[in-house]
Structure 1
Amino acid sequence: MAADDIAQLVNSLSKTHLGDGELSYKGLGLKLDNADSVEELVQEIERQQDLRVLRLEGNTLGVDAARAIAKALESKDQLQRCYWSDLFTGRLRSEIPVALKSLSSGLMMAGARLTVLDLSDNAFGPDGVKGIDQLLRSDTCHSLRELRLNNCGMGIGGGKILAEALLECHRQSLVAGTPFRLRVFVAGRNRLENEGASALAKAFQTMGSLEEVHMPQNGINHAGVTALAAAMRHNADLRVLNLNDNTFTKRGTLAMAQALGHLRNIQVINFGDCLVRCEGTIALAAVLREGLPVLKELNLSFGEITEAAALVVAQALVDKPHMEKVDLNGNCLGEEGCEALREVLESQDKGDMLASLSDDEGEADDEDDGQDEDDEDADASNGCNGCNEEDFVKENGTAAKEESPSKSHFPEAVSSFLDCPSAEKLLELGEMRKHLLPEVNILDPHKAVEVLLKVASLYSEVPVAKATVLETFDMMLRKLLSGSALQAYTTLSTLLVLIGLLNGEGKTKKMPLTPGLLLCLEHAVQQDYLAQHHASLLHTILSKNRKALKSRSGSMDRFSSALEKRCLN
């Protein structure tokens, strides 16, 4: 070993932290190529009898140097935390798995029981995951509580390998009587996409022990998000969920909203830059209103959210005493919308929790209503094996992916009415009107709302017809609003989209905003089944829809007046 290299190493070692079981070479920028280059380092490891923490991040490690360090680790059975991020800068990709296998072997030979393994910022790809595969499957990791693999380029293949290793670790830990209870999982910027995320979701669901999940920037869309949502609901102690910069769209957001309803301990939700959009935002507002009792931070920035949907979220925060930060920056609020949002939060004494709105995109154009309408169809080509959509159930317990009953399941008279609605057919149905409403799918009440609107379109001032229409409308809307807040809010947002009062997603055929429908809604807001917060949601959306207000008719006036009266009570 050259004298200059020895001097550099001695100087570097003088800066390390020794004591309390920790040995740190963090950020020293050492180029460790072979056994000679790590001779002094190895001696320090060997001298540290109670080594519990080894920090090697910020250096660059070659294969031969890794073998020498691994040999020294074979006697370190008390080692618990390995911080080995940014450890292979400038190394050939083929070298990294070999080095990782050597280090893994040293840990396993020692019989160490790891609690923290951090290999972030090592661009090792799927082959790098193979380098730690045996380690993760071994009893050395039965005790693992934090696994950090941020920015490692694992890809779909690496995600699948990792998932299988975690599942095997869990299986073997149960056999050994030392259950694997991973608490923190970090894997941002890894190009996991749907298949990698779905594979990991299976592992997460099986473990059920996660407290923090960080998976931003992974190219995951609604199929993978749905799989992760299904897994999250089985992790009751989850406190932090960070899926920033993936693509939820409506379907992914609704699935995630349903999962969040099962999580009582979550404190931080980061769905920024995830395209949650209006319907998804309203679904999240429903969960905010009904659950998430200890939530502290909510990030919905850059989600193509309009003013009305943002205000619904702000109103849902009224009973959230622990809230510290709400981020709605980069959305489509407009100058007036930003001010309205501030006013709502200030009225709740929560004005200081609102993050900057400096990157607001301005009001959304009406032409944006159906933007990216092929998002979800395109998602289908980005495979998602085992995405667990069946884990999401309708309010009555039927699987969410199951279609609504076909018309052949209805009595003939009901099918005839649905094919060609008329007031006469509705009257003739009598008691069979109870069969009009399809099974309610909490993730997609579209079919049920369409039937509701068909009934409302038959409104007339003829006494018998009016009474029948209102009675049927009440019966159906009561059922649609009687479930969870999530079901009620998705029902109302779907209704608002179908009549053109709320920006929707995809190819949605709008139904006319008829005087009959407005009068049915005027009647509904005066009934006990429509709660005040339902009325508040309708009032917020309507009051922010300039197009509807410009064409105010007598029926619109009546509906608006009834809403305002109900909201003031």
Structure 2
Amino acid sequence: MALFNLSSVSDALQDVSDDTKGVSFVGLARKWETEENVKEVVEAINKCPHLNFLNLEGNTLGCEAAKHIGEALKKHPEFKRAIWKDLFTGRMKTEIPPALIDLSQGIMFANAQLTVLDLSDNALGPNGMTGLVDLIKSSSCYSLEELRLMNCGLGITGAKMLAKSLGECYKGSVIAGKPMELKVFAAGRNRLENDGAKALSAVFEDIQTLEEITIPQNGIYHQGMAALAEALKKNPNMKIINFNDNTITSRGAEVLAEAFYAIENLIEINLGDCLLKDEGGQTLSDVLADCHPDLEVVNLSGNEIGPEVGIALANSMGPKESLKKFLLDSNQFGDEGVEQIQQIMEDFGKLDVLSIEDDEGLADDEDCDEENDETEEGEEEEDYEEENEDDEEVVITGVSNLSESKFETSLDNSILLNSTKIDEDDPVAEFCNAKEPKLVDFEKITDEDKLIAIKDFLSNATEDDYLTHLVFTILKLSSISEESKEAQQIALELFKEAFEYAKTKDRLKSVRNFFLIQLGLLKSEEKMFKPKYDIKSCRAALENAINNNSIPDEEKTIFECFLNAAK
């Protein structure tokens, strides 16, 4: 794909051959918000006679702009490669799903057959995945060959959502008589962990056409590696494996070695920083000595491997005629060990492919590798799980830090309204100020029109606090709405008022995100926070508000994305 300097819309058009025709705005740092400022992209798409690819990498795309790009894509059934890396810089996490939905709808409407989908370096998280699932499981992805989601913060939940969508896509493609032939899967730095790796492995076992799997830095231990190893066995055309910086240990090396015997075409193996130690290194040395003659790149750096195993590895790799890079940096060979390994590679005429820098010297103790593996793995996994025990929902930035009022710092309870006009025995005050809503407290309100009574009570709040108390009151009414139709109806009316008021104060995003947090759909930045309301009932009340047009159209799609993802 040729690069260019954009000076006009025509510069965005790439027209060299059928495979390289398309539109590129790569690396221009554009901020596309409205129809007007995304006009250049839409025009370039409309003027492209054969839109093979659309490269928008290195820009930032808003919801309205995405809608117009999606409309333009509806006219291009020939579209194949969506290259949308680093496309949502500075966007709230709630902006990404609707933008992806609009882009996806354009592709699906055109019945385009994607071969490449690259959304790397976007802070998608599980929330962002809600905007992708429909596309990935659609017929537009039956033809998908490359799926790249590097550094997207998917987490376990996002990985499971991705696996489910891919699985549905594969099954649909089989029924359609054209099974998906996914060749490249790249999802490094996503905190997939064991559960995410297991979910994806099950899909890879079905697909059986993978040639490259790149998933470094994902907190995967030997249990996850065991699942991946089984998947590797079912993909005989595998050529590139990158599991760098996962905690494989000797146990993981054993199951991977079994898989390596089952696949014969590997050209690149990256198991750097995987805590293999001597036992794991020796296991791999044995299998590499026996097979994979076409290996070009092997990375075993940073694995605490000692000199004897390092020498064994050198002897197993030296005869590989195609070897271009053999990385053994940052191990524990000692000066003499390094010299011996260098001599072996020189004898094979391969010294120039060896990298053996930053050696850490011989290990201080000679404890059994297996004992060390168990101790270190147990400690690291326990610490990791404690640190990320709530990682099934992505953290949203910019909610509790807005400091516009007490609203964003009142996650646990509404602050009591302070006014000499309020009667402490007033049942309305008692219900609205209760820490936990109860139907019995709501029924104590004897006013003929409870809605007016509640509004009158809330009017005692200061202007800065009014929205805070209004939202908490909605949550309390929503929490009992499945028990009381009257509470449900009042919540419906207050939903409408809350969003209308928030719009006048330019605080729609704050209100929206606050509701999402309280309903357990987004994780709060306050680690100890847990929703105190009946989440099931509150979500039902929110759906009721959506269905009855109590929420602005621009917010509906976002709420629907999160609610659908939670089902």
- The TM tier, using the shorter chain, reads 0.5 to 0.7
Contact 2:193–2:218 under 8 Å retained in 1: yes
Which residues of 2 match residues 99-110 of structure 1 at below 5 A? Answer: 99-110=99-110
Contact 2:249–2:373 under 8 Å retained in 1: no
Partner of 1:76: 76
Of the candidates 15, 19, 42, which is equivalent to residue 19 of structure 1?
Answer: 15
Partner of 2:361: 362
Partner of 1:44: 44
3-state SS of paired residue (1:371): helix
User: Which string of whole-angstrom CA distances, capped at 9 and with x for unpartnered residues, describes residues 261-293 of structure 1?
Assistant: 111100000000011111111111111121112
Write the distance in 2 (CA, Å) between the matches of 1:350 and 1:286.
20
Contact 2:10–2:44 under 8 Å retained in 1: no
Q: Measured at CA, do residues 158 and 12 of structure 1 come closer, stay the same or move farther in structure 2, by a change above 3 Å?
A: farther
3-state SS of paired residue (1:213): strand
Contact 1:222–1:376 under 8 Å retained in 2: no
Partner of 2:473: none
Deviation at 1:44, TM superposition (A): 1.9
Q: State yes or no: 1:195 paired with 2:195.
A: yes
Deviation at 1:317, TM superposition (A): 2.4
Write the distance in 1 (CA, Å) between the matches of 2:82 and 2:113.
11
Partner of 2:486: none
Write the distance in 1 (CA, Å) between the matches of 2:108 and 2:160.
23
Deviation at 1:253, TM superposition (A): 0.9
Residue identity matched to 2:295: L
Partner of 1:437: none
Deviation at 1:367, TM superposition (A): 5.0
Which residues of 2 match residues 88-167 of structure 1 at below 5 A? Answer: 88-167=88-167
User: Which string of whole-angstrom CA distances, capped at 9 and with x for unpartnered residues, describes residues 87-142 of structure 1?
Assistant: 00011110001100110010000010000111000011011112110101011000
Deviation at 1:42, TM superposition (A): 1.0
3-state SS of paired residue (1:88): coil
Partner of 1:299: 299
Partner of 1:206: 206
Write the distance in 1 (CA, Å) between the matches of 2:186 and 2:223.
20
3-state SS of paired residue (2:38): helix
Residue identity matched to 1:371: N
Residue identity matched to 2:191: R
Residue identity matched to 2:339: E
Contact 2:9–2:43 under 8 Å retained in 1: no
Write the distance in 1 (CA, Å) between the matches of 2:42 and 2:322.
49
Which residues of 2 match residues 525-536 of structure 1 at below 5 A? Answer: none
Write the distance in 1 (CA, Å) between the matches of 2:342 and 2:12.
49
Write the distance in 2 (CA, Å) between the matches of 1:18 and 1:298.
37
Write the distance in 2 (CA, Å) between the matches of 1:116 and 1:235.
20
Write the distance in 2 (CA, Å) between the matches of 1:199 and 1:347.
45
Which residues of 2 match residues 126-525 of structure 1 at below 5 A? Answer: 126-355=126-355, 357-366=356-365, 368-369=367-368, 370-377=371-378
Write the distance in 1 (CA, Å) between the matches of 2:316 and 2:357.
23
Write the distance in 1 (CA, Å) between the matches of 2:13 and 2:295.
38
Structure 2: which 5+ runs fail to align? Answer: 386-567
Write the distance in 2 (CA, Å) between the matches of 1:332 and 1:127.
43
Q: Measured at CA, do residues 10 and 250 of structure 1 come closer, stay the same or move farther in structure 2, by a change above 3 Å?
A: closer
Contact 1:222–1:379 under 8 Å retained in 2: no
User: Which string of whole-angstrom CA distances, capped at 9 and with x for unpartnered residues, describes residues 465-513 of structure 1?
Assistant: xxxxxxxxxxxxxxxxxxxxxxxxxxxxxxxxxxxxxxxxxxxxxxxxx
Write the distance in 2 (CA, Å) between the matches of 1:246 and 1:194.
10
3-state SS of paired residue (2:54): strand
3-state SS of paired residue (2:96): helix
Write the distance in 1 (CA, Å) between the matches of 2:288 and 2:173.
37
Contact 1:12–1:28 under 8 Å retained in 2: no
3-state SS of paired residue (2:305): coil
Deviation at 1:376, TM superposition (A): 4.5
3-state SS of paired residue (2:241): strand
Contact 1:264–1:294 under 8 Å retained in 2: no
Contact 1:324–1:353 under 8 Å retained in 2: yes
Deviation at 1:14, TM superposition (A): 5.7
Contact 1:223–1:379 under 8 Å retained in 2: no
Write the distance in 1 (CA, Å) between the matches of 2:113 and 2:135.
11
Q: Measured at CA, do residues 353 and 67 of structure 1 come closer, stay the same or move farther in structure 2, by a change above 3 Å?
A: same
Task: Give the % identical residues.
Answer: 45
Deviation at 1:36, TM superposition (A): 1.6
Write the distance in 1 (CA, Å) between the matches of 2:374 and 2:138.
46
Contact 1:13–1:25 under 8 Å retained in 2: no
How many correspondences in the alignment? 374
Residue identity matched to 1:374: T
Contact 1:188–1:214 under 8 Å retained in 2: yes
With 360-369 and 53-62 compared, the bigger mean Cα shift is at 360-369
Deviation at 1:372, TM superposition (A): 4.9
User: Which string of whole-angstrom CA distances, capped at 9 and with x for unpartnered residues, describes residues 116-170 of structure 1?
Assistant: 1110000110111121101010110000100110000000000000011111111
3-state SS of paired residue (1:236): coil
User: Which string of whole-angstrom CA distances, capped at 9 and with x for unpartnered residues, describes residues 303-347 of structure 1?
Assistant: 010000111111122442222221111000011110010011112
Q: Measured at CA, do residues 364 and 236 of structure 1 come closer, stay the same or move farther in structure 2, by a change above 3 Å?
A: same
Contact 1:233–1:259 under 8 Å retained in 2: yes
Q: Measured at CA, do residues 216 and 12 of structure 1 come closer, stay the same or move farther in structure 2, by a change above 3 Å?
A: farther
Deviation at 1:373, TM superposition (A): 3.7
Structure 1: which 5+ runs fail to align? Answer: 1-8, 384-569
Contact 2:170–2:180 under 8 Å retained in 1: yes
3-state SS of paired residue (1:189): coil
Q: TM-score, length-normalised on structure 2? A: 0.64
Write the distance in 1 (CA, Å) between the matches of 2:129 and 2:374.
37
Deviation at 1:15, TM superposition (A): 4.4
Deviation at 1:16, TM superposition (A): 2.4
Deviation at 1:49, TM superposition (A): 2.3
Write the distance in 2 (CA, Å) between the matches of 1:342 and 1:264.
28
Deviation at 1:353, TM superposition (A): 1.6
